[in-house]
Amino acid sequence: MNIFRFAGDMTHLISILVLLLKIYATKTCSGISLKTQELYALVFVTRYLDLFTDFISVYNTVMKLVFIGSTLAIVWCMRLHRVVRRSYNRELDTFRHYFLVAGCFALALVLHEKFTFQEVFWAFSIYLEAVAILPQLVLLQRSGNVDNLTGQYIFFLGYLTFSVLILLSCSSQPTEMPFWAYRAFYILNWIYRYFTEQHFSRWIACISGLIQTALYADFFYYYFLSWKNNATLKLPA
């Protein structure tokens, strides 16, 4: 465990808890894509199949349970909670995410570390996480503006490219120091482990992580601009 990874896990945890708290406290989920949340729940369920077969550490097991539990709680809230579900933008959240699931599964059948049940599902979860944000980005584009917390939620999930830029630009107001990006730490962690561990090669996770970053980069650019100009975020249609 290195500081990059720990910070990445904490940022990821905060982003999920912030979203869950926002939905639960305000009893509204407008601007949030249920499809993206369902994809994230699928990512965690398929990635942590080794939850009961491989014990790595208490930290590892607890975090897996928290990630699975909190994302399922978000999906439950948005689908079944009688008050929250009314504010779900069903007519805007129309991304056909089944294609993402099918595509990632097909890719995982071809590209994996080892052709076993667990490894194919692990690779599937890595690919799916890279594209899971797409329904949310499409929903943001359709709903036009970003309500404050949704934007911040995606911001917390964000990546090196613009988080460093935003960090540098707002270093003047330390109170606004945003939580670092989650995947940014993981990319730093992979670089760190590549140089410190002989047999460390996680090409599947690395490349998928970089694609994930690219997907976020454009969102961050517009988020940064709106934040800088203090205007509501308008993504180009």
Contacts of 61 (CB under 8 A, 6+ apart): 51, 55
Inter-residue contact 67 to 13 (CB < 8 Å): yes
The footprint of other proteins (CB under 8 A) covers 5, 9, 12, 47, 50, 53-54, 56, 60, 63-64, 67, 113-114, 116, 118-119, 122, 186, 189, 202, 205
CB 55 to other proteins: min, Å: 9
Between 167 and 207, name the residue whose CB sits nearer to other proteins. 207
Residues belonging to the chain? 237
Between 109 and 177, name the residue whose CB sits nearer to other proteins. 109
Which of 15, 3, 40 lies closest to 159 in space, CA to CA?
A: 15
Between 84 and 184, name the residue whose CB sits nearer to other proteins. 184
Contacts of 149 (CB under 8 A, 6+ apart): 18, 19, 22, 26
CB 15 to other proteins: min, Å: 13
Tokens representing 98?
Answer: 């089944």
Between 49 and 167, name the residue whose CB sits nearer to other proteins. 49
CB 190 to other proteins: min, Å: 9
CB 125 to other proteins: min, Å: 10
Contacts of 128 (CB under 8 A, 6+ apart): 39, 42, 43, 46, 100, 101, 104
